[in-house]
Amino acid sequence: MAIALISDLHSNIEALTEVLKDIKAHGLKDIYCLGDLVGYGPNPAEVIELCFETKICLLGNHDEGVLKSAYGFSPIAKGAVDWTRDQLRPGFFSGARKKRIWTFLRGLPVVFKVDDILFVHASPRDPVLEYILRSDCMDLFGKPSDKIVDIFAKVEWLCFAGHTHDPGVITEDGRFLRPADIEGKFTFEKGKRYIINVGSVGQPRDGDTRACYAIFDGESVQFRRVEYDYRKTMEKIFTVPRLDRKLGERLAVGK
């Protein structure tokens, strides 16, 4: 049974809605969300409610920042997290909807594992915070970096992650394979280990404005790009004084 893997939704209801339509069109019923439901975007409550129907939903660093504090965030990201917290955190007189959303967010796990497949938001070493960047993969001599070697020591076969908003397959010999390098699909080999970044639904950063998600069928991963009305999301961000305009402007360039 194939599953859809989504991550880094970032309160972008327009992108998530179109991705869910594409998932349904492919006949997929099981959706795994790898975290960062909120942050940056203008519709945190609505995005979280759509995630109620996912089979697995993990905690991302922006979700954690909303629940606790936005420590270590850039000023722009912190402003969005603080605004999101004010939208979501229930008070004594809050209704059932707001309380249910907050309870769901508080209950998100940080890892999920099935046999030799690991699902995290960020990294096997630090499931919520650590970035695995393209630049981390190889050292100056063209060999796998010490960081990558140490991370792969915690991978049995496959590890699916998000966090960087940069989709691709990382091999244990230090290669970063972009979807364009593999014609959008990669078949795994038993006996070799891989880290797969499924990209971002709500704020792509690989130069493509389209929402990104992945389909895993047990043997291969396929990357999907989905058009959505990012201009609508931009305009909604611009109407919220506490959300920096840059958070909307970057949607138009996919960076």
Percentage of residues in the chain having pLDDT higher than 90: 92
Nearest in space to 192 (alpha carbons), one of 168, 172, 162, 214: 172
Q: Can you tell me the mean pLDDT for 169-185?
A: 96
Q: Is the pLDDT of residue 61 over 90?
A: yes
The tokens describing 225, both together, are: 């790009």
Helix axes 44-51, 13-25, angle to 10 degrees: 20
What would the pLDDT profile of 21-56 be if each residue is shown by its tens digit?
999 999 999 999 999 999 999 999 999 999 999 999
The pLDDT of 113-128, averaged and rounded, is 97
How far is the C-alpha of 79 from the C-alpha of 112, rounded, in Å? 30
- Look at residue 92 in the predicted model and tell me its pLDDT: 84
* Assigned superfamily of 3-252: Metallo-dependent phosphatases (3.60.21.10)
Dump pLDDT digits (tens) for 122-155.
999 999 999 999 998 888 788 899 999 999 999 9
Output the pTM of the full model. Answer: 0.96
Tokens for 232, please give them.
């609508």
Greater model confidence, 178 or 72: 178
Q: How confident is the prediction for the chain on average, in pLDDT?
A: 96
Neighbours of 245 (CB within 10 A): 12
Q: How many CB atoms lie within 10 A of CB 187?
A: 10
Residue 200 is predicted with a pLDDT of 98
Q: Which pLDDT band, with edges at 50, 70 and 90, does 190 fall under? A: confident
Q: How confident is the model at residue 115 (pLDDT cuts 50, 70, 90)?
A: very high
In this predicted structure, what is the pLDDT of residue 1? 79
Dihedral class, residue 107 (left if φ above 0, else alpha if ψ from -120 to 50, else beta):
alpha
> Is residue 47 a contact partner of residue 211, using CB atoms and an 8 Å limit?
no
- Cβ 106 vs Cβ 37: under 8 Å: no
Nearest to 144 by CA among 116, 174, 186: 174
pLDDT tens readout for residues 63-111: 999 999 888 899 999 999 999 999 999 988 899 999 999 999 999 999 9
3-state secondary structure of 61: helix
219 burial level (CB within 10 Å; 0-12, 13-18, 19+): exposed
**Domain-by-domain residue ranges, the chain?**
3-252
Average of per-residue pLDDT across 227-231: 98
Residue 250 gets which letter from DSSP?
G
